[in-house]
Structure 1
């Protein structure tokens, strides 16, 4: 199945509710949380997350680009997060973090930066509903897609199939009409798209176009 996840990092902050409603046809909403420490940028916090949750019933995928993410799990679940995706580079216990998320009644996911190897985490995939491959350095939108990260996608795809798991492979960074097919062909199922959705005159049509391009490449 193909999932298109518009990133509100590229939305109009002054009309956030309106922009979220424009992508009611999206499969989920991607919420980037940045603390200015793990990544050199600040973005949304729990109040904005709660505001988004109040205007949509869509699944909220929380991308926690923050240090010691476990300390904030309960806060973001309380704000409406449905899946907590944390960076393995930001925690010393990714397995414990996954269990903590599950104990809070939500899904768990982990993300890896472009330079982080996926192999050390392959044996723990059964604990995660999603693995997010970063195809740019996390922290800022509008960066250029890094195709070399698709090797990690292929490794994940093979291991997930071999183990018979339902773990979703997601990709975040530089996803647009010109890159989504390459990612889909490699095995990505969930695509985070910012300006490729909210930068268009018709965001809903952009979502459908991206979904079609991904489906055709699978």
Structure 2
């Protein structure tokens, strides 16, 4: 299995001190930062948060940062160039937002970014076709519904992680939504190696300790699964 990666969700940070918050996470042991961008499109996500200008500011303020950009947007092909120009490292879009994912993956790669494909809670893992998964660098299983804050972790989504791990043993598989110390064990046991956590990290008195705990949990699960 690929290595454990913790990607703190910047949506849970103090936006008034965004650059400082990102630096704090990197210093605390995070390798990636999860930048969730929500769309104004009513048929997908009804609100908007971080766009390319914000990402550009973060990229300039924290040189070398790996921005894990989760694009919860309609027509994801429209934003590839903007996110690349802003310094995005990985561009993850939703299968539900397109009928033709392969050209989008090609466009992402052509701009020097890694490509991720996400599925929402009601989308089965079978929707991720073999050729799409092979082209993508990462698969993301949402464990809450996109665009709604404060939701409870949906453990019914975890079998999809297990199914995807069985099909794609060497692929980065990320979980996002309601993940923290109380739920990371189940995510790691299901086969996720990339953990997104927001409030559990940014709201903690000891974020460095939380990051270390999450990573250690994934490493232990991987050791068990390898036996």
Q: Same fold (TM over 0.5)?
A: yes
Identify the match of residue 212 of structure 1 among 187, 193, 216.
Answer: 216
Separation (CA, whole Å) in 2 of partners of 1:72 and 1:172 = 21
Identify the match of residue 123 of structure 1 among 125, 130, 148.
Answer: 130
1:106 and 2:110 are equivalent in the alignment: no
| Count of residue pairs the alignment pairs up | 214
Q: Which residue of 2 aligns with 1:177?
A: 181
> Does the Cα contact within 8 Å between 2:76 and 2:97 map onto a contact in 1?
yes
Separation (CA, whole Å) in 2 of partners of 1:99 and 1:159 = 22
1:23 and 2:25 are equivalent in the alignment: yes
Q: Residues 65-122 of structure 1, C-alpha deviation per residue, up to 9 Å, x if partnerless?
A: 1110101100000001011100011112111111111111111111000000121323
Identify the match of residue 74 of structure 1 among 67, 81, 89.
Answer: 81
Q: Which residue of 2 aligns with 1:152?
A: 160
Identify the match of residue 95 of structure 1 among 98, 102, 106.
Answer: 102
> Does the Cα contact within 8 Å between 1:122 and 1:156 map onto a contact in 2?
no
SS at match of 1:204: helix
Gaps in structure 1 of 5+ consecutive residues? none
Q: CA deviation at 1:8?
A: 0.5
Separation (CA, whole Å) in 2 of partners of 1:142 and 1:4 = 20
Q: Residues 106-163 of structure 1, C-alpha deviation per residue, up to 9 Å, x if partnerless?
A: 11111000000121323121101000000000113332111111111111111113xx
1:199 and 2:207 are equivalent in the alignment: no
Q: CA deviation at 1:40?
A: 2.1
1:190 and 2:197 are equivalent in the alignment: no
Gaps in structure 2 of 5+ consecutive residues? 223-227
1:9 and 2:17 are equivalent in the alignment: no
Separation (CA, whole Å) in 2 of partners of 1:19 and 1:59 = 14
Q: Residues 16-38 of structure 1, C-alpha deviation per residue, up to 9 Å, x if partnerless?
A: 11111111120201001112322
Q: 1:213 to 1:142 in 2, by over 3 A?
A: farther
1:55 and 2:61 are equivalent in the alignment: yes
